[in-house]
């Protein structure tokens, strides 16, 4: 497809891998159930494993979510803290937070594919899974926020006896289109990527049930050269389509705010800084998940320190864009000269007489100050530090949405209608519940599907071997021509 | 089987199994040079150059995706323009079925809000194009197809793992099972095998 002469970084694959060993290292996580019982953890008389613990936590979270949703449907959204003047509370904060987290998956799988970044190969699969699960968690909030989720299909345009259609001039309707498209295209892209790996699992599986299940899911993929040609063509086009899609989704989410006249929302910096923030949050979540998974499933040779170093750099770069966004918001509030915008700025930063200003400073601490440690290569290659910083960014990005939504809404134009917002138990239960759902789905995925793209790792292995041959001076001109073809 | 056609096993082709993608590429080129036309290669990773060596070219997918992208864009704008204006279909049942437009003044914005209709049209462009890329790829590859005659070859189980397989198919005008196998053996394969189609297939 291309003749890219840049050699592949040898540090992307550590250890002595062969195709067979790659199949074993990745495929057997799924095919051999006992992988999930290790490393064993002893808690008194109980013998357990990280997979069991994480899955258990996720399962409890799902139950909490079911209880929260059931009570919500029975009682109405009055059980949340949303009330005049704060119509958007934690539900929308969490919606934006989750959807932002999803963005890294698409960025890794689509944008880095177009940029021919080989380091995406070992992280794209579970990052894409993370995208899908995060968008699922996100989608729950606006559906329930409508108050009558059982008529959520009204959001879609369809001919009906009321003779009504959606109001297409509203960013909220744009959001419906953006998020549903994003969800569907992400699942499609993920599935297309999975098919050759499912065929590998089908052929390696020893038990009948696994053979049938993976056989059906792989659609009878047989690795035909003619199929591969169309497959690569389709992957490239899907990547090319997902790139403008991922940029548009958070842009449109930011329009939900930027199209409004609420102080602090009506800012043109919103679309780019929301997109950068989404990538920032998403990479933080990828790192948070990759560090333990890599250790538990012994993937150190496949997800190397080089990967973490580069992911940290992307995080640092997007973090700086986000920090620039915060500066521009402050500048805009001051420079506009609009009294309401200036009052909002006061409400954000004045610790003395604004009740929610602490959240703004928490945001600056978690999202701007702590990530600055990423400038140091030592920190970027220290997994404990990286885990801590990524976690801090996840919290910081949550605060960002909290700062944007309740702070602006509690005090808008008329002091007589100032109010306050206190999330209730059910707000937090929903949030914890969606985190549980995310963990639950993530660990089901780890159990049943290969968490690293097997065939792309084989391609990478092949290239690394080739380049290695050249660096030792073994390569002839003929070899080089061939290597170019194979790439 | 009594479907009125002969479904007894018939020769499907001869496969040769190789260890590396380079060998597969060489073998494909050699087979083409020897005059064989109907063949396919099976591999765990895409081996670039094999399709060119087989002189297989199919660029339909790009056009399919482009057409669907344009269609998605037109559907997006068409839907919004139709439903946001006072258009009515000249049939009684159109109103009952809710197919007429719903002209609705929202904050004094024009009924024909072309810029505001852009985001949904943009998303539908991507939605249509992406699904035509994914589903179109499977359709052109004639998948799903749970069984294929070439899977009767013993080495095919490793085509998804670490083997690179070339199959010269019986439909080839120059096909002669013994000669093909002899030819494939000259390419230093790990093994060769004559493949039959399955009973009833």
pLDDT digits (tens, 9 = 90+) for A85-118: 899 999 999 999 999 998 888 888 888 888 888 8
Residues A330-374 have pLDDT tens digits of 999 999 999 999 999 999 999 888 888 999 999 999 999 999 999
pLDDT band of A474, cuts 50, 70, 90: very low
| Cβ–Cβ under 8 Å, residues A461 and A1 | no
Q: Over the stretch A373-393, which tens digit does the pLDDT of each residue have?
A: 999 999 999 999 999 999 999
At A38 the pLDDT is: 81
Average pLDDT rounded to a whole number, residues A396-411:
92
Clarify whether residues B70 and B133 are in a common domain.
Answer: yes
Instruction: Enumerate residues 186 to 205 of chain A having a beta carbon within 8 A of any beta carbon in chain B.
Output: 188-189, 191-192, 196, 199-200, 202-204
Q: Region A69-92: what's the mean pLDDT?
A: 92
Report yes or no: B62 and B133 within 8 Å, Cβ to Cβ.
no
A66 touching B (Cβ < 8 Å)? no
- The range of the structural domain enclosing residue B89 comes to 60-140
Is residue A455 over pLDDT 60? yes
How many residues belong to chain B? 201
Give the 3-state secondary structure percentages of chain B, helix then strand then coil, rounded to 5: 45, 10, 45
Asked whether residue B175 falls in the same domain as residue B164, the answer is yes
User: What's the domain count of chain B?
Assistant: 2
Split at pLDDT 50, 70, 90, the class of A7 is low
User: Is pLDDT at B23 greater than 50 in this prediction?
Assistant: yes
B158/B154 Cα distance (integer angstroms) = 9
CA–CA separation, A251 vs A244, rounded Å?
10
Q: Which residues of A touch B156 (CB under 8 A)?
A: 222
Tell me whether residue A90 is exposed, middle or buried, using C-beta atoms within 10 angstroms of its C-beta: 0 to 12, 13 to 18, 19 or more: buried
Please report the pLDDT score of residue A486 as a whole number: 47
User: Could you confirm whether domain A49-440 is CATH 1.20.1630.10?
Assistant: yes
Q: Is residue B4 part of a domain?
A: no
Looking at residues A16-33, what average pLDDT do you find? 88
Name residues whose C-beta falls within 8 Å of residue A58's C-beta, 6 or more positions apart in sequence.
Answer: A436, A437, A438, A439, A440, A441, A442, A443
Pair B53, B64 in one domain = no
Task: Give the number of residues written for chain A.
Answer: 487
Residue B2's pLDDT is what?
Answer: 54
Q: Does A44 touch chain B (CB under 8 A)?
A: no
pLDDT at A208: 94
Contact A170 B136 (CB under 8 A): no
Statement: residue A204 has pLDDT above 90: yes
Is A236 an interface residue toward B (CB < 8 Å)?
no
pLDDT at B101 over 80: yes
Q: Are residues B51 and B65 in the same domain?
A: no
Same domain, B135 and B152: no
CB contact under 8 A, B126 and A173: no
A226 in B contact zone (CB under 8 Å): yes
A:130-189 residues touching chain B, CB 8 A cutoff: 157-171, 173-174, 177-178, 181, 184-185, 188-189
pTM for the structure as a whole = 0.91
pLDDT in tens, B157-182: 999 999 999 999 999 999 999 999 99
Is position B201 within any domain? no
Same domain, B15 and B53: yes
- Across the interface, whether the CB atoms of A229 and B146 are under 8 A apart is answered no
Whether residue B162 is contained in a domain is answered as: yes
Q: Do B56 and A196 touch (CB under 8 A)?
A: no
Mean pLDDT of chain A: 89
B69 with B130, same domain: the answer is yes
Place A3 in a pLDDT band, splitting at 50, 70 and 90.
very low
Probe site for chain B from A190, A234, A462 (most B CB atoms < 10 A): A234
- Structure tokens that stand for A474 in this block: 């073994």
Predicted pLDDT of residue B3: 61
Work out the average pLDDT over A118-122.
86
CB nearest A184 (choices: B117, B127, B141): B127
Q: Residues B67, B131: contact at Cβ < 8 Å?
A: no
Cβ contact A168–B113 (<8 Å): yes
Give Cα A457 to chain centroid, integer Å.
22
Residues B71 and B115 in one domain: yes
Q: Is residue B5 part of a domain?
A: no
Q: Which residue of A has its CA nearest to B167?
A: A224
Residue B112 lies in a domain: yes
B187 inside domain: yes
- Judge contact between B151 and B42, C-beta under 8 A: no
Which residues of B are less than 8 Å from A234 in CB distance?
Answer: 61, 133-134, 136-137
For chain B, the average pLDDT equals: 91
Cβ atoms within 10 Å, residue B182: 12
Contact with chain B for residue A11, Cβ under 8 A: no
Write out residues 122-141 of B within 8 Å (CB-CB) of A.
Answer: 122-124, 126-127, 129-131, 133-134, 136-138, 140-141
- Is B6 a member of any domain? no
Regarding whether B114 and B164 lie in a shared domain, the answer is no
> Quick check: B197 pLDDT over 70?
yes
One DSSP character per residue, A462-487 reads: HHHHHHHHHHTT---HHHHHHHHHH-
B82, B91, B141, B144: best mutation site toward chain A, by most A Cβ within 10 Å?
B141
State ipTM.
0.93
| Average of per-residue pLDDT across A53-68 | 96
Cβ-Cβ contacts under 8 Å, A178 against chain B: 119, 123
Size of interface A-B (CB pairs under 8 A): 210
Residue A103 has a pLDDT of 87
- Chain A CB contacts of B201 under 8 Å are none
Q: Do B64 and B127 belong to one domain?
A: yes
Please compute the mean of the pLDDT values over residues B56-71 and round it to a whole number. 94
Neighboring chain B residues of A159 at a CB cutoff of 8 Å: 97-99
* A310: closest CA of chain B, how far (Å): 26
Q: Give yes or no for a contact between A255 and A242, defined as CB atoms under 8 angstroms apart.
A: no
Question: Is the pLDDT reported for residue A476 higher than 60?
Answer: no
B96 reaches A (C-beta below 8 A): yes
Residue B112: pLDDT above 70? yes
Of residues B47, B122, B141, nearest to A230 (C-beta) = B141
A170, A181, A231 ranked by CB distance to B127: nearest: A181
* Helices and strands in chain A, H and E counts: 19, 2
- Whether residue B72 is found in the same domain as residue B88: yes
pLDDT tens column, A404-430: 999 999 988 888 989 899 999 999 999
Q: Between residues 383 and 442 of chain A, which touch chain B (CB distance below 8 Å)?
A: none
Domain check: are B112 and B82 in the same one?
yes
Is residue B46 included in any domain, yes or no?
Answer: yes
Contact of A260 with chain B, judged by CB distance below 8 Å, is answered with: no
Residues 463-482 of A with CB under 8 A from B: 482
- Mean pLDDT in residue range A304-309: 91
Higher pLDDT among residues A173 and A7, named by residue? A173
φ/ψ of A238, rounded to 5, equals: -65, -40
């Amino acid at each position: 497809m291309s003749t890219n002469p840049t050699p592949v970084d040898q540090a992307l694959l550590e250890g002595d891998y062969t195709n067979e060993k790659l199949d074993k290292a990745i495929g057997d996580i799924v095919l051999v159930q006992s992988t999930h019982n290790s490393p064993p953890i002893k808690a008194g008389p109980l013998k357990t494993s990280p997979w069991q613990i994480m899955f258990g936590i996720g399962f409890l979270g799902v139950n909490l979510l079911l209880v929260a949703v059931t009570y919500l449907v029975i009682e109405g959204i009055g059980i949340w803290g949303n009330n005049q003047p704060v119509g958007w509370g934690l539900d929308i904060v969490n919606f934006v937070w989750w959807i932002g987290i999803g963005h890294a998956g698409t960025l890794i799988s689509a944008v880095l594919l177009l940029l021919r970044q080989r380091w995406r190969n070992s992280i794209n699969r579970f990052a894409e899974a993370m995208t899908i699960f995060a968008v699922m968690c996100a989608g729950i909030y606006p559906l329930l926020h409508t108050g009558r989720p059982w008529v959520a299909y009204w959001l879609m345009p369809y001919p009906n006896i009321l003779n009504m259609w959606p109001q297409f001039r509203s960013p909220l309707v744009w959001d419906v289109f953006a998020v549903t498209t994003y969800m569907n295209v992400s699942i499609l892209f993920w599935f297309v990527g999975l098919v050759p790996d499912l065929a590998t699992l089908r052929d390696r599986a020893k038990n009948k049930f696994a053979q049938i299940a993976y056989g059906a899911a792989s659609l009878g993929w047989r690795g035909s050269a003619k199929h591969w040609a169309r497959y690569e063509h389709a992957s490239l086009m899907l990547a090319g389509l997902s790139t403008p899609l991922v940029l548009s989704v958070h842009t449109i989410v930011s329009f939900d705010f930027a199209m409004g006249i609420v102080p602090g929302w009506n800012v043109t910096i919103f679309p780019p800084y929301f997109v950068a923030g989404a990538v920032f949050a998403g990479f933080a979540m990828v790192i948070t998940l990759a560090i333990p998974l890599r250790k538990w499933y012994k993937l150190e040779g496949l997800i190397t320190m080089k990967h973490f170093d580069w992911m940290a750099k992307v995080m640092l770069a997007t973090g700086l864009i986000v920090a620039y966004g915060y500066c521009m918001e402050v500048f805009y509030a001051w420079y506009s000269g609009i009294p309401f915008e200036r009052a909002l700025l006061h409400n954000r930063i004045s610790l003395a007489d604004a009740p929610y200003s602490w959240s703004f400073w928490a945001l600056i601490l978690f999202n701007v100050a702590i990530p600055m440690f990423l400038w140091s290569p030592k920190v970027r290659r220290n997994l404990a530090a990286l885990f801590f910083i990524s976690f801090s960014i996840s919290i910081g990005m949550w605060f960002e949405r909290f700062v944007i939504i309740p702070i602006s809404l509690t005090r808008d134009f008329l002091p007589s209608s100032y109010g306050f917002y206190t999330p209730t138990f059910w707000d937090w239960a929903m949030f914890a519940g969606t985190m549980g759902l995310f963990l639950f789905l993530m660990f089901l995925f780890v159990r049943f599907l290969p968490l690293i793209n097997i065939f792309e790792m084989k391609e990478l292995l092949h290239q690394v071997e080739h380049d290695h041959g050249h660096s030792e001076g073994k390569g002839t001109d003929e070899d080089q021509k061939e290597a170019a073809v194979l790439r | 089987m009594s479907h009125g056609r002969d479904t007894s096993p018939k020769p499907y082709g001869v496969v040769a199994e190789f260890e590396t993608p380079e060998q597969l590429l060489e073998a494909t080129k050699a087979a083409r040079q020897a005059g064989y036309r109907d063949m396919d290669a099976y591999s765990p990773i895409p081996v670039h150059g094999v399709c060119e060596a087989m002189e297989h070219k199919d660029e339909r997918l790009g056009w399919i995706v482009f057409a669907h992208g344009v269609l998605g864009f037109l559907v997006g704008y068409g839907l919004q323009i139709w439903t946001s204006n006072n258009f009515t279909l000249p049939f009684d049942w159109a109103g009952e079925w809710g197919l007429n437009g719903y002209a609705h003044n929202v904050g004094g914005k024009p009924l024909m809000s072309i810029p505001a209709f852009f985001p949904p049209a943009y998303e539908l462009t991507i939605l249509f194009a992406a699904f035509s890329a994914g589903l179109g790829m499977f359709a052109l590859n004639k998948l799903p197809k749970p069984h294929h005659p070439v899977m009767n070859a013993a080495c095919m189980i490793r085509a998804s793992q670490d083997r690179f397989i070339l199959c010269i198919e019986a439909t080839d005008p120059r096909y002669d099972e013994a000669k093909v196998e002899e030819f494939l053996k000259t390419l230093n394969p790990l093994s060769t095998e004559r493949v039959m189609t399955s009973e009833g297939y």
